[in-house]
């Protein structure tokens, strides 16, 4: 386990000074208007949360925001490295920025996040996209004010991607994307080193935030009117490692559940090897914890799980599922599945299908294996052609679609408490939200109910979710 490093008050004072300096320089550069920033975060919830802190720093430095790249004076892409397709999309989007740089020479372009933490990616950006001004990895987002100051003073290229296991940075300014749901990281990094996954290499080793700091933030969010809080970590079940006080994830959930207020709590992501019956008991007994568990299995084949270094077998996994369903009768379950891992046979794939049929997940996040530079799986033989993997993938989607439809049909006639978070598809006259089990629920309504908890009786089921009528 790596050393847990927190930024000091002195570090934060220096950061504030840098933000003030940038603010003055922007006033000189844009005396007649507010400069505008465009930001976009790709990938997981942790990335989205990181993006909110980037926007917070930009706001503190004097930037307003725009949804149009063409209007921006600063563009920052917060990148994702989990899958190859995401990287290709980002490269394409960065290429499109060149034209804006030509029309606006003062435009500052920054790339940050997981992709940039990889030296081979940073090298490609330097060589192929020389108009990118800032490159910084996952461990350096808090350095954005210093980087912007250097760039505004005339330095052509500013880069911060030194390998590091990461910091814990408290008291960062945050500009949240919504007013109903809030992302709340409780830990960072990962120690698991699954053979297919690049996360431990780009986000560092596990490090937990102090519980009192997280609980203070929970109370602040509740006071601000947030109705749902998502606790984030690459493996939340490992929470507590490296802290001076003795606390585990289950004990921490109990503390969060005890916070006063009208709100509910979710968390992502649980690792099956660390998921405990005590955690399940806590969910069952809680007042605020949603009756939904996301428990990524990745494969139904013990042979493939061993090759993935997942450190559990299907028998242990199914034992947890059986216990959870018994303790929480209205539990909803979701999972992650990788199709076509190197060396996977059709027999292995069928074991995954059998698992899906046995568990009957409410919904799945499914992916075709994506080779990641630097991981052990990238060196494994991978004889199955891509078109065959795609065929398997379509077969899996068909099985899950049928299961999802049947699971939703069982909800017909029930009354679900729904947190409304937005309008449904244009033209339907409906609003959309999530049940406590994280199922999408739509019902007739308008924007006036967004942010409210309402009771909805389910009348119609689909494989994507359900439709109902609001109860008075």
Residue 6 has a pLDDT of 81
DSSP state of 146: H
For 137-185, how does the pLDDT look when each residue is reduced to its tens digit (9 = 90+)?
A: 999 999 999 999 999 999 999 999 887 777 788 989 999 988 999 999 9
Cα-to-chain-centroid distance, residue 144: 21
Q: What count of other Cβ atoms lies within 10 Å of the Cβ of residue 128?
A: 11
Find all residues with CB under 8 Å of 2, minimum gap 6, and list them: 165, 204, 205, 207
Residue 1 has a pLDDT of 42
Q: Where in the chain is the domain with CATH 3.30.750.210?
A: 178-290
Q: What would the CATH number be for the domain defined by 415-470?
A: 2.40.50.140
The answer to whether 165 and 6 have CB atoms below 8 angstroms apart is no
Instruction: Give per-10-residue mean pLDDT for the chain (472 aa).
Output: 70 93 97 97 94 97 98 97 91 96 96 95 96 95 96 95 80 92 96 96 93 97 97 96 92 98 96 96 97 98 98 98 98 98 98 98 96 96 97 98 95 97 93 96 96 97 94 87
Q: What would the CATH number be for the domain defined by 322-410?
A: 3.30.750.200
The CATH number of domain 178-290 is 1.10.240.10: no
Please tell me the distance from the alpha carbon of residue 393 to that of residue 386, in angstroms, as a whole number: 10
Residue 242 has a pLDDT of 82
For 414-444, how does the pLDDT look when each residue is reduced to its tens digit (9 = 90+)?
A: 999 999 999 999 899 999 999 999 999 999 9
Residue 278 has a pLDDT of 97
Residue 3 has a pLDDT of 59
Tokens 């990118």 appear where? 132
Backbone angles phi, psi at 41, to 5 degrees: -110, 125
Looking at CATH, the fold of the domain delimited by 9-160 is given as Rossmann fold (3.40.50)
Tokens 């003062």 appear where? 106
Q: Where in the chain is the domain with CATH 3.30.750.200?
A: 322-410
Q: Where in the chain is the domain with CATH 3.40.50.12160?
A: 9-160
Q: Where in the chain is the domain with CATH 2.40.50.140?
A: 415-470
Find all residues with CB under 8 Å of 140, minimum gap 6, and list them: 112, 160, 161, 162
Residue 8 has a pLDDT of 83
């Amino acid at each position: 386990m790596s050393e847990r490093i927190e930024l000091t008050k002195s570090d934060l004072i220096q950061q504030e000074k840098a933000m003030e300096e940038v603010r003055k320089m922007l006033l000189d550069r844009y005396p007649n208007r507010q400069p505008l920033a465009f930001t976009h975060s790709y990938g997981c919830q942790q990335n989205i949360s990181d993006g909110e802190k980037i926007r917070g720093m930009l706001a503190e430095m004097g930037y307003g925001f725009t949804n149009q790249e063409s209007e921006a004076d600063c563009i920052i892409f917060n990148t994702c490295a989990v899958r190859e397709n995401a990287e290709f999309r980002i490269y394409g989007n960065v290429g499109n920025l060149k034209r804006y740089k030509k029309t606006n020479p003062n435009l500052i372009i920054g790339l940050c996040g997981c992709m940039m933490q990889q030296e081979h990616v940073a090298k490609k950006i330097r060589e192929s996209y020389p108009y990118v001004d800032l490159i910084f990895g996952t461990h350096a987002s808090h350095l954005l004010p210093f980087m912007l100051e250097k760039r505004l003073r005339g330095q052509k290229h500013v880069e911060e991607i030194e390998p590091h296991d990461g910091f814990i940075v408290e008291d960062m300014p945050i500009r949240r994307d919504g007013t109903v749901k809030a992302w709340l990281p409780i830990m960072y990094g990962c120690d698991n080193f699954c053979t297919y996954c690049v996360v431990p290499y780009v986000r560092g080793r596990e490090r937990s935030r102090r519980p009192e700091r997280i609980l203070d933030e929970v109370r602040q969010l509740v006071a601000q009117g947030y109705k749902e809080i998502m606790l984030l970590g690459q493996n939340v079940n490992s929470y507590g490692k490296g802290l001076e006080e003795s606390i585990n994830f289950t004990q921490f959930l109990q503390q969060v559940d005890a916070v006063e207020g009208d709100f509910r709590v979710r968390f992502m992501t649980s690792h099956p090897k660390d998921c405990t019956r005590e955690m399940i008991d806590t969910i069952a007994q809680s007042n605020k914890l949603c009756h939904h568990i996301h428990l990524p299995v990745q494969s139904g084949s013990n042979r493939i799980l061993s090759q993935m270094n997942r450190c559990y077998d299907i028998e242990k996994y199914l034992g947890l599922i059986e216990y959870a369903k018994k303790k929480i009768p209205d539990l909803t379950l979701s999972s992650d599945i990788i199709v076509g891992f190197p060396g996977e046979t059709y027999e292995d794939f069928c074991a995954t299908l059998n698992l899906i049929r046995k568990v009957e997940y409410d919904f799945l996040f499914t992916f075709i294996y994506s080779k990641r530079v630097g991981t052990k799986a990238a060196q494994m033989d991978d004889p199955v052609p891509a078109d065959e993997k795609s065929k398997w993938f379509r077969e899996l989607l068909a099985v899950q679609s049928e299961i999802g439809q049947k699971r939703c049909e069982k909800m017909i006639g029930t009354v679900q408490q729904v947190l409304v978070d937005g309008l449904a598809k244009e033209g339907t006259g409906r609003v959309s939200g999530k049940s406590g089990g994280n199922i999408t629920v739509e019902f007739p309504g308008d924007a006036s109910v967004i942010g409210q908890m309402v009771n909805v009786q389910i009348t119609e089921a689909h494989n994507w979710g359900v439709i109902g009528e609001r109860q008075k």
